[in-house]
Structure 1
Amino acid sequence: MRGLTVTGVYDVAIVGAGMAGTSLAAAIGSQARVLVLEAEDTPGYHATGRSAAFWSETYGGPGIQPLTTASGPSLRAGGYLAPLGSLHIGRAEDESAMDAFLAEFADSDVRLDRVDPADSVPGLRSEWTLGVQEASCAYIDVAALHAESIATARRAGADFVTDAAFAGATRADGIWTIETKAGAFQARTIVNATGAWADTVAARAGVRPLGLQAYRRTMVQLRTDPGAPEGLPHIADIAGRFYFKPEPGGRLWLSPHDETPTDPCDAAPEEIDVAIAIDRFEQVVDWRVAAVERRWAGLRTFAPDRLPIYGFDRDVPGFFWCAGQGGFGIQTAPAAALLAASLLLGVSPDPAVAAIDAARYSPERF
């Protein structure tokens, strides 16, 4: 993709080829001439390529749930989801948190059932007495979903240019001139889908930043003794101190659920966070950690109210925000792309997202 010669004025230039940018390119590619610009050599290098790879309707809270739920049918139809289930666990002192969690989703279509967590987790330590089952939680094939969004966009005629870091943009007579490491391009609309770099890109285009903040999240792959049993669900602490899920070969992916503020960067795990993750895990089950086989970190980027941002900038014409997806951008990608596409093109929303209130995600709220 790098080195592709592109000419003329595009309808839409999407800056960022992670899941947000490519899924939007796929959604609008047949209705507009689209250019996708990616700073790295490979699309999806940052947050998309470092996802914890599960789909949970409760993850992110009630403000994210409509987008996640609306994404479910297309993800299942495409074969991107596989059964997993989730078990939210707590100790006696977490009773109020568990009650609040159930109350948050009481009026939604998400089924949540009180259960005895010991029935699902062999070796669970005795103090973990509270459990709520979320049966709909699933594995999500992030790589396949991202690859298909790129392929769909390209089949529709979208051009991709990698190694094209955004340097700045100016607008005259309704046309943006975009300066990148790979050269200059022109488009009528810029879509800012750059994740942790979204405020930086906005500033370089003369657009007021919206206060987005990136946070580092740590993940480790463990080999345990005994290995993760077959049928183990995703396990999440109701107090937000950890989560882990089984992987092939009896391995586990574990996170201390950390959120460390950071500047946009190529995130790397800190040893202290790996140690914290293991310590918290060992307080949950009596399994021995035999080895830490992998460790990595990714960035989750939030707006001040922790809801994503989809829509045209309030002050600068032709500048569209597709940012602030936090850790929920993969699981909400199909619905978010349809919602953003309707706002970007000025058309009625697809029936799959017609009931979602787009105003709650508008940049005009800042």
Structure 2
Amino acid sequence: MDARFDIVVVGAGMAGASLAARLGKQARVLVIEAEESPGYHATGRSAAFWTESYGGPQVKPLTTASGPELHRLGVLTPRGALTIGRTGQERDIAAFAQTYGGVGIAVERLDRAEIAARIPDLKPEWTCGVLEPSTCDIDVAALHQHYLATARKAGVALWCRAGLAAATRVSGGWALTLADGRRIGCDMLVNAAGAWADPVARKAGVEPLGIAPFRRTIAQVAIEPVAPDSLPLVLDVAGGFYFKPESGRLWLSPHDETPSSPCDAAPEEIDVALAIDRFEQVVDRPVLRVEHRWAGLRSFAPDRLPVYGFDPQDGAFFWFAGQGGFGIQTAPAAAVLGAGLLLGKVMGEVDPEPFGPGRFLGR
């Protein structure tokens, strides 16, 4: 055996890096990553915003609790979010405002004139909306590098090009074989593998939870006149699109969720075309050209809530996965919660009970 650790974390994206940063001073931790560098998949392909309503009311406590650390680290820039609806969708907008205002998010109902003042050249059928002033852009790369640097300073080892090939349960923990041939041991195995969470569980002989990857497409486009930097993040109340400005360009998405196998996701032309079409139904500013396009995988458990905790059938296997599209904006609070569970300590202000893997007993 080449080495032994207290905890081995599978995956060096935002989830694995943030958790390792919390654990490093209190345990011997190794993070293993299949790719040549950390954050290649979902972390490196985020739309990069922090908004308290994203992910739903049950995810909101994680997002809100993450806000202070994200502000302290200087990775948030005020943006504001505007969820809009067409004529006939007033009830949907009212329900959105009531739901999220009811869980403590500052929201403001806007009429047609107030929306048009914030979205230049808005088409006339868009008449109702809800503003979330607290929404910010996130510097995802800076946040990820912060966690990697903090983990490294705390003594955490990071091995890239070292995916998990096999995991065997032994007395006192695990015997692991890595893709590069190294064999290591650990007391606890943490599954922070994102889209690969269920395959990692299978390798460890743990029953998968049904965490499924879905492709999300984003395109960077040029429009005329250019997108003003004051434009908020704009979202469709029906879930058909979102867009936001980026250095004079526009990032837009058709809010697609296409089932996928775990892979290096690539955008489909039809999804890029759909994003453009939906944008041009909102704003009378035609897209001149597509400058860049990409896709990432968002992974959801069956109930669309993240999964944090020890597997109920194996107390040495820890789930830290299923974080959908909100894993970056909830990273600080999720890492505190996960580290507390792993170390048997009460940490943070978020109740872990709704996120425990035991909710899938009998699956």
| Coarse TM-score class (shorter-chain normalised) | over 0.9
* Counterpart-to-counterpart distance in 1, 2:101 and 2:286: 37
* Aligned match of 2:29: 34
The residue matched to 1:340 in structure 2 has which SS?
helix
Which residue identity lines up with residue 334 of structure 1 in the other structure? Answer: P
Q: Return the offset for 1:241.
A: 0.2
Does the residue aligned with 2:279 lie in a helix, a strand or coil? helix
In structure 2, C-alpha distance between the alignment counterparts of 1:259 and 1:171, rounded to whole Å: 35
| Structure 2 residue aligned with 1:3 | none
CA distance in 2, matches of 1:278, 1:113: 28
Deviations 1:86-141 (CA, angstroms, capped at 9, x unpaired): 11110122222212212222332210001131110110000000111100000100
- Per the alignment, residue 59 of structure 1 pairs with 54
TM-score (norm 1): 0.96
- 1:324-359 deviation per Cα after TM superposition (whole angstroms, max 9, x unaligned): 00000000000000000000110111xxx32x2201
Where in structure 2 are the equivalents of 1:1-366 lying within 5 Å? 7-115=2-110, 116-182=114-180, 183-248=182-247, 250-349=248-347, 353-354=348-349, 356-366=350-360
- Give the whole-Å Cα distance in 1 for the aligned partners of 2:228 and 2:163: 44
Divergent runs of 4+, >4 A: none
DSSP 3-state at the match of 1:317? strand
Note the alpha carbon deviations across 1:214-254, whole angstroms, 9 max, x for none: 00000000100010023111100111000000001x10000
Give distance in 1, aligned partners of 2:156 and 2:298.
Answer: 27
> Match of 1:207, SS?
coil
Q: Which residue identity does 2:323 align to in structure 1?
A: Q
Where does the alignment leave 5 or more consecutive residues of structure 1 unmatched?
Answer: 1-5
Map Cα deviations across residues 32-90 of structure 1 (whole Å, 9 max, x no partner).
00000000001000000000001100111101110000000000011010011111110
Q: Which moved more, 1:96-105 or 1:83-92?
A: 96-105
SS at match of 1:68: helix
- The letter of the residue matching 1:293 is E
Aligned length in residues: 356
Amino acid at match of 1:358: P
Q: Secondary structure at the match of 2:328?
A: coil
**In 1, are the aligned partners of 2:3 and 2:183 still within 8 Å (CA)?**
no
Aligned-pair identity (%): 58
Q: Which moved more, 1:176-185 or 1:20-29?
A: 176-185
Report the Cα distance in structure 1 between the residues aligned to 2:217 and 2:262, rounded to whole angstroms.
15
Conserved in 1, the CA contact under 8 Å of 2:87 and 2:125? yes
TM-superposed deviation, 1:7: 4.4
Secondary structure of 1:105 counterpart:
helix
Deviation at 1:175, TM superposition (A): 2.2
Q: Deviations over 1:168-208 (max 9, x none)?
A: 10121112111111211111000000000000000010000
CA contact (8 A) 2:320 2:338 kept: yes
Answer whether contact 2:2 2:183 (CA < 8 A) is retained.
no
Cα pair 2:6 2:187 within 8 Å, conserved? yes
Distance 1:175 1:285 in 2: 57
SS at match of 1:36: strand
In structure 2, C-alpha distance between the alignment counterparts of 1:130 and 1:230, rounded to whole Å? 22
Mapped partners of 2:92, 2:297: distance in 1: 26
Look up the SS of the partner of 1:101 in the other structure.
helix
Distance 1:99 1:343 in 2: 38
Tell me, yes or no, if the aligned pair for 2:223 and 2:286 is still in contact at 8 Å: yes
Aligned counterparts of 2:46 and 2:334: Cα–Cα separation in 1: 17
Letter in 2 for 1:134: E
SS at match of 1:258: coil
SS of the residue corresponding to residue 129 of structure 1 reads strand
What secondary structure, in the 3-state scheme, does the structure 2 residue paired with 1:122 have?
A: coil
SS in 1 for 2:102: coil
Measure, in 1, the Cα distance between the counterparts of 2:89 and 2:356: 34
